Amino acid sequence: MTESTITWQDFEKVELYAGTIVQVEEFPKARKPAYKIWVDLGTHLGIKKTSAQVTKLYSKEELLGKQVLCVTNFPPKQVADFISEVLVTGFVLPEGEVVLAQPDRPVPNGTRLA
């Protein structure tokens, strides 16, 4: 049972797009361990940046080239000295690790989740 229900129109407001991680850097200024990540979201959206607390399960090297699902219509958020433009989605496990949400097959960057 879910905590609350939404309408189809509510779901359509959330813009979820597939993109490929093209750059990853350490983010020592973040309060919690995180990476600075750049995601190629295709020609329509371009490359967007985000910070993500995924350091427990992923190295910088294994993130490069990985496809992920991003929420693209949140307002930009400042994290330390970095502006996060999208939210990379994932599943938070009981100990705080994050498993990234991703397509099970490659899709073109910029493909919207429906």
Question: Is residue 26 within 8 Å of residue 67, measured between CB atoms?
Answer: no
Q: Identify whether 93 is part of a domain.
A: yes
Number of domains within the chain: 1
Secondary structure letter of residue 113 according to DSSP: P
Q: Identify whether 94 is part of a domain.
A: yes
Task: Report H helices in the chain.
Answer: 8-13, 42-45, 60-63
Q: Identify whether 111 is part of a domain.
A: no
Structural domain for 50, as ranges = 10-100
pLDDT of residue 3: 79
Q: Identify whether 5 is part of a domain.
A: no
CA distance 7 to 104: 26
Judged by DSSP in three states, 92 sits in strand
Q: Identify whether 2 is part of a domain.
A: no
pLDDT band of residue 74 (cuts 50, 70, 90) is very high
Q: Identify whether 36 is part of a domain.
A: yes
Backbone angles phi, psi at 9, to 5 degrees: -65, -35
- Check pLDDT > 60 for residue 106: yes
CATH of the domain at 48: 2.40.50.140
- For 111, the token pair is 């493909």
Least Cα distance to 48 among 18, 27, 28, 26 occurs for: 18
Query: pTM to 2 decimals?
Result: 0.93
Q: Identify whether 21 is part of a domain.
A: yes
- Check pLDDT > 80 for residue 1: no
Q: At 30, which amino acid appears?
A: A
Q: Identify whether 17 is part of a domain.
A: yes
